[in-house]
Every structure is written in structure tokens, then in C-alpha cells.
Amino acid sequence: METPHLTFPLLVTLLLNGVAIGMLYFLVAVGLSVIFGLMHVLNFAHGSMSMVGAYVGLAVFRLFGDPATGTAPTWAFALAILGGAMAGFVLGWVTERFLIRPLYKRPIFLILLTLGLILVLDETVKLIWGTSPQGLVIVPGLSGTVDVLGQPFAVYRIFLISFGLLMIGLTWYVVNKTRIGIIIRAGVQDSDMVQTLGINVRQIFTLVFAFGAALAAMGGIATTPFTGVHPAMSGDFLLKTFIVVVIGGFGSTTGTALGAICLGLTEQFLPWFFPRFAAVGPVVLMAVVLLVRPEGLFSVSGRRAG
């Protein structure tokens, strides 16, 4: 196969692309990571929650858009992100409070429950919006390209990198600098002990689940200018989330950020070297990390928090 020479400007573009995609993966994955670290719930419906966010976001976007061209002003996209996040928040809140909470003592049933939720959420989405892809979301204010070392680079990717960095910064601040963050980090180690200090951990569980789903939903809507909105998103998101979280280590927000960027870069660079099997690369990477270093590549002491 003929591959163009990997020039320096191209290398920079691939790097930036990888980081931009990595930001999306961070948004989608960070909730699952913290939820697992804190509550030991592996939420298989996490990808579906992301997808619901994308669909709701799209609906909000279209409220203000031009149906003929599929475009809408930039502020409508901001509203779409917000709307999708709110949908995710409500979905996460209800799921934790009414479905997951009664099952904390039965871990296998928690897995089964979230599997069932995949079917319920995915099919409900198809019921409301149909099975065909919904077309790209075009935000004129964020379209176009700029010149980076002579290579065109999409403005939207610059937006993604900035938005992603902002969200990474926010999560880092919440986890490391606020009381809720202290409770989360403590709860990842021993939530019973946190309870005995007079803290209602269950409330924090609900909150974390809701915010995790909200971030995933944001990630869902933020991908739509690339991929459009389609029902296969949920499965894609789920697998990518697992890969990110395994690489980064469960329960760690910093690890998730690093794992997400790692996956973004792998996906950008792998096709240059192994074009035929690039698709299977990330999954193999996940399997290898699980076998060799199940606590994640970026954990220092085998402990996971922070």
C-alpha cells in the first residue's frame, strides 16, 4: 500500500488530531471511571447514555437551526451541549437512584441491569428518532480550517481541544480541591469509612453518577460534528470508554485524561503503520494492559484515585 511520507507538519497535525479526539474520549469515559472507582459499578449502559445525550443535543440544535442546510448558530450548539448534558444528568440520576441503588449488594446483577439498560435506551432512541443516521451537525461558527505549519487544521478540533482542556481542568479542580472531591477520593478507597464520618455517601453516589452521565452526554454531542448522530454510537462509545479507562486505570481522573489522549493518538498513528489492522489495535492494547498491568498504565502505586 502506498503511504505518503510522514512529514513533520503532518506529524503535528496527527498529534493535534489525536489530542482533539482524546478530549472527546475523556468526556465520555471519565464518568465511567469515577463511577467504577467509587461504587464498583461497571456501567455497560454508559455508551448509551452518551448517545442519548447526542440525540437530545441534536434535537435542541435543530430547534434553532435551518432544516434545509442542517446548520445553526454557534450559540445553538452551546445550548445543544447544555441540553444534552441535562438529559444525561437526569438519566444518570434516575438510573442510580431507582435502579442501581437497590442492587449494590449484588454485583453480578448490577452488570445484568446495565446490560438491560443498553437495550432499553438504544431501542427507545431508535423508536423516537428512527434507525437511520441523522446527518452531520454543522456549526458555521466552528467550521472551516486554519493553517498549522502549512497543513489545514479544523477549527472545530481547536474548539474541542480547548473545551476538553477546560473540562479536564474543571474535573481536576472538583476532584482535588473541593470537599466533594475529597469525599470522592476517600470513597474510592473505602466508602463505608466515609459513612462513619457522618457523610451520606449514597447522595454522593447519585451525584457522581448523574454528573458522569452528563459529561458522557456532552462527549456524545461534541462528537456529532465529526460523525453525525446514529444508533451505533452507543456501542462504539462503550468500547472506547473501556479501552480508555483500562489504559488510564479505574477511578482516576488524571489517568482517564492520559488514557483518552493515548487512545486518540493510537487511533491517529496506527493506520500509518498497520493500515489493515488499525481497527483492532486499541482493543489489543486494552487486552495487553489488562493482562500485564490491570491497575492501568498511569497509576503510580497501584492505588487509583486523584
Grid cell 489525536 is found at: 18
Residue span 177-206 as binding mask against another protein, x where in contact by CB under 8 A, dash where not:
--x--xx-xx-xxx-xxxxxxxxxxx----
H or E element at residue 25: helix 8-39
- Cell 456549526 appears where? 139
Phi first, then psi, for residue 151 (nearest 5°) are -105, 140
Q: How far is the CB of 229 from another protein (least distance, A)?
A: 17
Residue from 6, 63, 115, 232 touching another protein (CB under 8 A): that is: 115
- φ and ψ at residue 154, rounded to 5 degrees: -65, 135
Contact 227, 43 (CB under 8 A): no
Considering only the C-alpha atoms of the chain, give the largest distance between any 2 of them, rounded to a whole number of Å: 65
Identify the residue among 149, 166, 232, 284 touching another protein (CB under 8 A): 284
Binding status of residue 120 toward another protein by CB under 8 A: yes
Q: Which residues are registered as beta bridge partners of 147?
A: 152
Q: Which of 123, 150, 170, 274 binds another protein (CB under 8 A)?
A: 123
- Minimum distance from CB of 287 to another protein (Å)? 4
Q: Which is nearer to another protein, 44 or 159 (CB)?
A: 44
Rounded CA separation 247/215 (Å): 19
Q: Which is nearer to another protein, 61 or 250 (CB)?
A: 250
Nearer to another protein, 6 or 106 (CB): 106
CB-side neighbour CA atoms (13 Å) of 26: 31
CB of 139 to another protein, least distance (A): 31
- 168 interacts with another protein by CB under 8 A: no
Contact pattern for another protein over residues 35 through 74, marking x by CB under 8 A: -x---x-x--------------------------------
Among 12, 161, 239, 265, binds another protein (CB under 8 A): 239
Cα 301 to the center of its chain, rounded Å = 25
Give the shortest CB-263-to-another protein separation in angstroms. Answer: 13
Cα–Cα distance for residue pair 224/218, rounded to 1 Å: 10
Place of cell 468500547: 239
Closest CB to another protein among 13 and 256? 256
> Which parts of 207-236 interact with another protein (CB under 8 A)?
none
The dihedral through the CA atoms of 17, 21, 23, 24 has a sign that is positive
- 295: nearest Cα among 181, 191, 188: 188
Residues contributing to the site for another protein (CB under 8 A): 36, 40, 42, 99, 102-103, 106-109, 111-113, 115-124, 126-127, 179, 182-183, 185-186, 188-190, 192-202, 239, 242, 246, 276-277, 279-280, 283-284, 286-287, 290-291, 294, 301, 303, 305-306
